[in-house]
Structure formats: structure tokens, C-alpha cells
């Protein structure tokens, strides 16, 4: 695999990368917020890692303010 070849990840790894459950992941794919998968075979699909990273980078950063212990 060269650097020009996109890395593909199967659904279990995609769920771990995003910290999502299967239903939330499916909903985001169906709504178009996450790019659709690439068909590998008749029964197998995978997502481009770069598409998942783009989704992560598009999410807002959570900032906590004024927490005192």
C-alpha cells in the first residue's frame, strides 16, 4: 500500500474511532453527515479513514469553563 492508497476501515474499527454505537453511526451515515461506505465485495463494505477523520475534525471542540474543585 502506498501513501496514495486510502486506508479503509471496517465498521467495528469505525465505531471505535468515533466512539459511537451502531445505531448512532448508521443514523449519521444515512443523514449524510458521515460519507457512505465503499463496497469491497457483494457483502463487505468499509469506510475511508480520511472520511472518518474529516467527520471528527468537523465536530465542535468541547470547552469546560470555571470548574473548581
* 46-59: pLDDT as tens digits: 999 999 999 999 99
Judge if pTM exceeds 0.85. Answer: no
What are the residue ranges spanned by the domains of the chain?
9-58
CB contact at 8 A, 55 and 18: yes
So what's the pLDDT on residue 4?
A: 81
Please give the C-alpha separations between residue 7 and each of 31, 49, 51, 52, 64, in angstroms, as whole numbers: 23, 6, 10, 11, 34
Question: What does residue 16 show for φ and ψ, rounded to 5 degrees?
Answer: -65, -45
Beta strands of 4-57 (E only): which ranges?
Answer: 8-9, 38-39, 45-48
Amino acid at each position: 500500500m502506498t501513501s496514495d492508497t486510502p486506508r479503509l476501515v471496517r465498521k467495528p474499527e469505525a465505531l471505535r474511532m468515533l466512539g459511537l454505537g451502531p445505531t448512532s453511526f448508521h443514523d449519521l451515515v444515512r443523514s449524510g453527515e458521515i460519507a457512505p461506505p465503499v463496497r469491497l465485495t457483494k457483502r463487505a463494505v468499509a469506510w475511508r479513514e480520511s472520511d472518518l477523520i474529516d467527520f471528527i475534525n468537523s465536530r465542535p471542540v468541547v470547552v469546560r469553563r470555571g470548574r473548581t474543585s
